Structure 1
Amino acid sequence: MLFNYRVIVNILGTLLMLNGAFMLTCIPFSLYYQEGDLWAILGSSVITAIAGFCMWFFSRKNLSKEIKKRDGYIVVTFGWLFMSFFGSVPYILSGAIPNLTDAFFETLSGFSTTGATILTDIESVHKGILFWRSLTQWIGGMGIIVLTVAILPILGIGGMQLFVAEAPGISPDKLQPRIKETAKRLWLIYLGLTFTETILLWVGGMSFYDAINHSLTTMATGGFSTKNASIAYFTSPFIQYVIIVFMFLAGTNFTMTYFALHKNFKKVLNNEEFRTYAGFCLAASIIVGLVVFNVSNESFEKSIRDGLFQVVSVVTTTGYITADYTSWAPFITALFFFMMFFGASAGSTAGGVKIVRHLILIRNSFLEIKRQLHPNAVIPVRFNGKAVSREITYNILAFIMIYIFIFAFGSMLMGIFGADFDTAIGSVATCLGNIGPGIGEVGPVDNFASISAPGKWLLSFLMLLGRLELFTVLMLFTPYFWKTH
């Protein structure tokens, strides 16, 4: 048999039951604030859990534990889709987003940790529903950790999610010898950082509700906020600096955080990707901060802080805002658009192309010149002092080319669907990179409500593509995937 359908359905059923269980965590907020969303959340949880249980129950007999590569691709892609379809039920039942297109867009934006929203008045949405909105991003971020550690290596997708140095297929530098133990430790780091940020934001002046919501979406590099003005609502420098630090940590390879927590700072500082990531954020922040100071009436500290916040937010694909970067200067708008194609570290919750791919691509390009002069010489690309295989290099070249093609084709389609040029390229770049705010009519102070229904479905597909690193989804559209030979 080409596919193990029982295993696929069984796993998808389990995911839906977990999704239904997560919905129940919104109930304390519904009970406390008493805004009338309790039954919508309960009903959504029951519907989701029953659907999942039926799938699990009727596929449990004669269940093989073996999962093939093709099964894995289907589970990963349809897992995200099923979670998003059923995750949109609370929005629909509560009336917060009664339209299926908008509800699905908002939910997939959450699970893919993109942060693009169609809500025009976030603060009017019931607190229980808003918590579910934030929780979808936290679940999505945790799901990416599961993928990077446990699932994609089984599928043999080398150089895709790029977990630690395994990502580019260099050295299997695992935290623990067993995958389950590795995933467990990364979850603990993820949970610990979320808890720590919640406390710091609460101490810094946020309400507990706002603190926990923003911590969930910061660590997922998602960017959903409980306020219409995003982080600009909170004028406290302390709160903004705390969020900057945790956005940076969320965009850092989680194994680097593990090594830092165990005082192995040499390993962190010797990592080429981390040095490039930190260096770029610092340099870009200084440039942006100086430009802001020059063109605005803000103080020097506020200008540098705004520059630092927006750069880290876009590079890590979090998408929070404290200011409208498209209003500063045309050069700054162009710089932020460029940064949408940058991405943070592999093995983090961030989206985008990822720094390691850029590094290997640039090095291979320069070495290609040397190879032309010395055609018989073996000159491998090196990363962190180790040779990168040609297969990984080809994988990265293919990824970049496909990424650019999808961006160009998606932008043309958005133009056909009625978007102007800036909005078309901005919406595609931000959704494909899982960032959130773009340029044009989907800029930092705008949202995606004005995008046409076909445009929202296209952007939803792009969010899924970007979150699952292209190949995982595109594989399903190839004829040979469905052939027995």
Structure 2
Amino acid sequence: MFQNLLKQRYRLVFGYLGNLFVFFPIVLLIPLLYCIGNPGVFVESLAFITTAVLSFAMGLMLKLTMRVRPGSPITVQEGAIVVLFSWVIAILLSALPFIIGGHLNFTQAVFESTSGWTTTGLTLVDVKTLPETFLLWRSIMQYLGGAGIAIIMMSAILGPAGLGLYKAEGRMDNLVPNIKSSTRTIAVIYGSYALAGVIMYRLAGMSFFDAVNHSLTALATGGFSTRTGSIGEFNSISIEIITIVLMLLGATGFGIHYTLWKKNFRAFWNNGEPKLMFIILALFTPLLMTGTLAVFYSSGAEQFRHSLFQAVSALTGTGFSTVDFVPWNHYGIYLIVLLMIFGGDLDSTSGGLKQYRLFALIKILWLEIRRYFLPKDAILKQEIWKGETRRYIDNSLVKEILLVFSLYFLTYAVGTGVLMSYGHSMAFSAFEYASALSTVGLSVGITVPGAPTGIIWTETIGMFLGRLEFLVVIYAITKLLRDGKILFRRRRNA
């Protein structure tokens, strides 16, 4: 009985994976749009066609074999498995064009693909020699990765089935009661901002190709650039301002955007994440100005310009830069490390610990201070808002914060230790791994094409865990092991 039920549930899991990867070729073929205006680069795009055929064949085989009824509900636990497999398979498929095109080996290609989908921005390619179709592909991965595989899954899954996937990917911003409508709303908001970004970049003097790529990656807080010197190579204040705005938009939770779109200003004001972000930037920008950038720039305006840009890029988890971090003193390096660890809003495209958890932690501390001065039997409730939803701080939220923080810093310590074992300084190792684990993309030169395989895979795992925030991966692996163990025992006893 149990064995049949288990088979039925996993048939559902792999059936939905089949649904996804039947549609995934649409994503893989987007770079071919560039060939319409540039037919000479079509040969370079054959790698995407080959990969799309493989994806479709795999998806169709699963779809026909498993025969899942459209709209079949899926639990959060099974959703975690679908999300984990979706991300792993999507990353591997997205790496294939780099391998087939002869641009990267397997390890490098998986790293680049992971960096793209997790919106990290660390790179192992030379953007000067990489064909423009591949540069566009990197930007597309980051843009779609910012929304999350769960959003893409909505094109393949209808009805209540999407709820398990949506929640499994760690999202809280159910904007409207219907999950499909929520994802559609997110897509509209996300797409509108991207289009506005392209227009503003063009007005600021960027070429159309550069404008598209940078708008997609800035909004996704990804940081892939078409230029070796990132945003700094343009040396334009107007471009930097546009980028700052896009980075902040990307780092703001979709639920908070929704309050503004609905003109629900009261709900927007009740959300503490945007306020906390601006307070952090207001504190760290002058610290960077006086402690580090005053050494490189005599002008106060230049100090402020570069301090603000680097602070926003680090806090939002974008990874664009206008300076070289290698000559920086340790004071500035560690300030950037802290900003990368803090991260952007929950349910946004950025990584890190997230502002929602930091804000909740501050509220918890304040609640305990108040409780200390009140009678023991006093009942205190501390509310915290997420989008239009109000909740009260309870034990479940405290446990979640403790668990995520513990897993983050444990992984961070191990990853930093691995980088140090290869001879890098503690400051640089802490910087580089914070950039990988918080999916930022800023670098001090450790992540290069010739980097040891151990470093590349350590950062790859860090990016993956950081994007899925540990819990989804742990839940999925635990369920797989648990179901496998139970099935093995029943077969052995049969």
TM-score (norm 2): 0.86
Question: Cα 1:335–1:84, aligned 2, differ >3 Å: closer, same or farther?
Answer: same
Say whether residues 1:20 and 2:25 are aligned partners.
Answer: yes
- State the partner residue of 1:87: 94
Q: Is the 8 A contact 1:148 1:347 kept in 2?
A: no
Quote the offset at 1:133 in angstroms: 1.0
What percentage of residue pairs aligned between the two structures are identical? 29
1:368-405 Cα deviation digits (max 9, x unpaired): 45656755444444324852121111111121112111
- State the partner residue of 1:229: 229
Quote the offset at 1:10 in angstroms: 2.0
Say whether residues 1:401 and 2:406 are aligned partners.
Answer: yes
Say whether residues 1:45 and 2:55 are aligned partners.
Answer: no
Quote the offset at 1:340 in angstroms: 1.5
Question: Cα 1:55–1:163, aligned 2, differ >3 Å: closer, same or farther?
Answer: same
Say whether residues 1:128 and 2:96 are aligned partners.
Answer: no
Quote the offset at 1:62 in angstroms: 6.7
Q: Is the 8 A contact 2:76 2:167 kept in 1?
A: no
Q: Aligned letter for 1:17?
A: V
Question: Cα 1:469–1:151, aligned 2, differ >3 Å: closer, same or farther?
Answer: farther
Question: Cα 1:405–1:108, aligned 2, differ >3 Å: closer, same or farther?
Answer: same
Structural mapping, 1:55-454, within 5 Å: 55-60=62-67, 65-97=72-104, 99-119=105-125, 121-143=126-148, 146=151, 154=164, 161=170, 163-164=172-173, 175-291=175-291, 294-297=294-297, 299-368=299-368, 375-384=376-385, 387-416=392-421, 419-439=424-444, 441-442=445-446, 447-454=447-454
Question: Cα 1:369–1:278, aligned 2, differ >3 Å: closer, same or farther?
Answer: closer
Q: Which moved more, 1:38-47 or 1:363-372?
A: 363-372
Question: Cα 1:412–1:292, aligned 2, differ >3 Å: closer, same or farther?
Answer: closer
Quote the offset at 1:298 in angstroms: 5.1
Q: Which moved more, 1:455-464 or 1:240-249?
A: 455-464
Aligned-partner SS, 2:119: coil
Distance 1:153 1:57 in 2: 24
Aligned-partner SS, 2:343: coil
- State the partner residue of 1:170: none
Aligned-partner SS, 1:233: helix
Quote the offset at 1:308 in angstroms: 1.4
1:427-450 Cα deviation digits (max 9, x unpaired): 3221111111244x33xxxx3434
Quote the offset at 1:317 in angstroms: 0.4
Q: Is the 8 A contact 2:13 2:82 kept in 1?
A: yes
Question: Cα 1:145–1:288, aligned 2, differ >3 Å: closer, same or farther?
Answer: farther
Q: Is the 8 A contact 2:73 2:161 kept in 1?
A: no
Q: Aligned letter for 2:51?
A: S
Aligned residues: 468
1:118-173 Cα deviation digits (max 9, x unpaired): 12x21210011111111111111122673999989637969x83534xxxxxxxxx
Distance 1:156 1:88 in 2: 25
Distance 1:81 1:156 in 2: 17
Say whether residues 1:8 and 2:16 are aligned partners.
Answer: no
Distance 1:157 1:41 in 2: 31
1:94-122 Cα deviation digits (max 9, x unpaired): 1121x100000000110111111112x21
Quote the offset at 1:365 in angstroms: 3.6
Unaligned runs of 5+ in 1: 165-173
Question: Cα 1:277–1:388, aligned 2, differ >3 Å: closer, same or farther?
Answer: same
Distance 1:376 1:44 in 2: 64
Unaligned runs of 5+ in 2: 155-159, 488-494
After the TM superposition, list the runs of 4 or more consecutive aligned residues in structure 1 that deviate by more than 6 angstroms. 147-153, 155-158
Q: Is the 8 A contact 1:84 1:111 kept in 2?
A: yes
Quote the offset at 1:7 in angstroms: 1.9
Distance 1:381 1:148 in 2: 36
Q: Aligned letter for 1:383?
A: I
